[in-house]
């Protein structure tokens, strides 16, 4: 059974009137719902226009009628951020009055109460309009519209599946890897990905390997069939560390049905072992993996809530230093913003992917949400010519760092850990760049465990290729991990 994330508010309207001869108050008839809802095509065109004009999209840009229409096109769940501690009860009462139903307090979650938001089922235009106009409401957003935004016909079921499976199904072992070109072997018997030398990872390992730094990965979970991210997490030169697997997605499972989360964990923290698999950059860090969403594009209500809960989980764990998320969306989310602010206030260092082009993102190549938020460090990928972005990586002024992750000649991406077995896989996009950058931060922090978050970022920036003149596309540029770790 799904964990309830929202309050069900029905659509039965109870009308009562009374007649008094002494009542001089003029009668104002209730506002009717618009005669026609705005088509998806018009909403989507408006979203794209805002992305092209402003570089981001927030539902506050849209009219009441458009937001209400998006609500009805989707699952009718509205994410409502309120301003005061007593706001939840007031909002529920308002909705109950407008919708003609009784509020239900039993389904409020601890995360929602902590961040001051509610997920409620709303059907009437007047309810939506009143909420958006209230000074007690910070935002009112159709949280799950993205999962329904395309008009899918029955014969196009595969297309619908692609929308909700973006970034999945690619984490299989590669049989065409070439020794010396795609990897080298390091002691005791691990494969070093071809891109590590561009960041002087092996040199940085002389002084730091991520020891005693705990990193949380918010993604699609980890494969239970991959021993290197399970019972063999400690092997070879990786010792004395822990891995914890959690789930904040609606079913609570920590397992990875997609493959993306497993590949991120491999890049960041794969053991430097004896079985011939890929070694992660921070091969001695502690790791928490969180299954928060069904794929890398955050579209559904379940995914938005899963990510929100994951950030709060990381924020409330005092042992977590770094939170890495290689997922995102074109839609800003008020409750995820709230979660980022909350985690930032707990001194977490957060990295997010700048964006990897898919059919969903169309021609938009700017920095996606939440990488465009001020609380996070945005990361993108570059080719090994050290000047061009990877074929499908997003760039922009919000980017902070870049990782070399695509060969110009062959298109080869960095090595990672597959869903099972000891043969490596490969993974690309700004996703692998983000996991790699988070791992480098873990190396630096393990050398300077007493430093605050901002000092770690400062060391990384000073050791990057554009340290003297920040790039408008790649931020501080390519990080020299050896220099960032220092002597």
Write down the domain spans for the chain. 40-150, 183-485
Pairwise CA distance, residues 338 & 335, whole Å: 5
Is residue 102's pLDDT more than 90?
Answer: no
Q: List the catalytic residues.
A: 219, 260, 431
- Note whether 434 and 326 are within 8 A (CB): yes
For position 87, what pLDDT does the model report? 80
Q: What is the mean pLDDT of residues 336-341?
A: 99
Q: By C-alpha distance, which of 143, 136, 76, 88 is closest to 112?
A: 88
Rounded Cα–Cα distance for residues 348 and 311 (Å):
10
φ, ψ of residue 288 to 5 degrees: the values are: -120, 125
Start-to-end CA distance of the chain, whole Å, equals: 53
Model confidence pLDDT, tens digit, residues 282-312 = 999 999 999 999 999 999 999 999 999 999 9
Does the domain at residues 183-485 carry the CATH identifier 3.40.50.200? yes
Task: Evaluate the CA torsion angle 196, 200, 206, 210 in order and state its sign.
Answer: negative
Q: Is the pLDDT of residue 348 over 60?
A: yes
Q: Is the pLDDT of residue 433 over 80?
A: yes
User: What does the pLDDT read at residue 317?
Assistant: 99
């Amino acid at each position: 059974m799904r964990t309830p994330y929202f309050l069900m508010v029905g659509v039965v309207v109870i009308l009562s009137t009374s007649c008094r001869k002494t009542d001089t108050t003029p009668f104002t008839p209730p506002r009717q719902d618009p005669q026609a809802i705005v088509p998806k095509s018009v909403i989507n065109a408006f979203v794209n226009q805002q992305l092209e004009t402003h570089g981001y999209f927030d539902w506050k840009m849209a009219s009441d009628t458009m937001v209400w229409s998006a609500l009805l096109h989707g699952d009718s769940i509205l994410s409502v951020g309120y301003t005061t501690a007593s706001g939840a009860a007031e909002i529920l009462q308002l909705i109950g009055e407008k919708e003609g139903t009784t509020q239900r307090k039993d389904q409020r979650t601890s995360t929602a109460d902590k961040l001051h938001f509610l997920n409620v089922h709303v059907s009437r235009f007047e309810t939506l309009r009143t909420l958006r106009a209230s000074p007690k409401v910070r935002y009112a957003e159709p949280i799950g519209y993205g999962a329904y935004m395309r008009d899918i016909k029955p014969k196009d079921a595969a297309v619908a599946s692609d929308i909700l499976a973006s970034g999945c199904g690619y984490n299989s072992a590669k049989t065409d890897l070439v020794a010396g070109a795609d990897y080298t072997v390091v002691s005791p018997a691990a494969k070093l990905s071809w891109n590590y030398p561009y960041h002087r990872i092996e040199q940085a390992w002389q002084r730091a390997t991520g020891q005693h730094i705990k990193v949380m990965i918010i993604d699609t979970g980890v494969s239970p069939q991959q021993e290197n991210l399970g019972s063999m997490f400690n092997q070879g030169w990786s010792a004395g560390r822990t891995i914890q697997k959690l789930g904040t997605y609606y079913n609570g499972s920590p397992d990875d049905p997609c493959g993306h989360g497993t590949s991120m964990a491999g890049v960041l923290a794969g053991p430097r072992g004896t079985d011939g698999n890929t070694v992660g950059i921070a091969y001695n860090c502690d790791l928490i993996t969180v299954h928060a969403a069904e794929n890398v594009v955050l579209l559904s209500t379940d995914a938005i809530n899963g990510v929100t809960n994951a950030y709060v989980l990381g924020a409330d764990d005092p042992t977590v230093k770094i939170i890495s998320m290689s997922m995102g969306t074109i839609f800003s989310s008020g409750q995820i913003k709230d979660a980022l602010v909350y985690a930032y206030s707990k001194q977490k260092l957060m990295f997010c992917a700048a964006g990897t082009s898919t059919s969903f993102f169309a021609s938009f190549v700017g920095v996606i949400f939440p990488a465009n938020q001020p609380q996070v460090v945005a990361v993108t990928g570059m080719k090994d010519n050290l000047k061009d972005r990877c074929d499908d990586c997003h760039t922009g002024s919000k980017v902070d760092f870049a990782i070399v992750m695509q060969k110009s000649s062959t298109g080869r991406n960095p090595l990672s850990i597959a869903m099972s077995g000891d043969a490596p896989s490969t993974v690309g996009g700004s996703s692998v760049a983000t996991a790699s950058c988070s791992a480098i931060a873990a190396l630096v922090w393990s050398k300077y465990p007493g430093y605050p978050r901002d000092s770690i970022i400062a060391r990384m920036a000073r050791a990057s290729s554009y340290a003297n003149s920040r790039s408008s596309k790649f931020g501080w540029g390519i990080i020299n991990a050896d220099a960032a770790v220092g002597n």
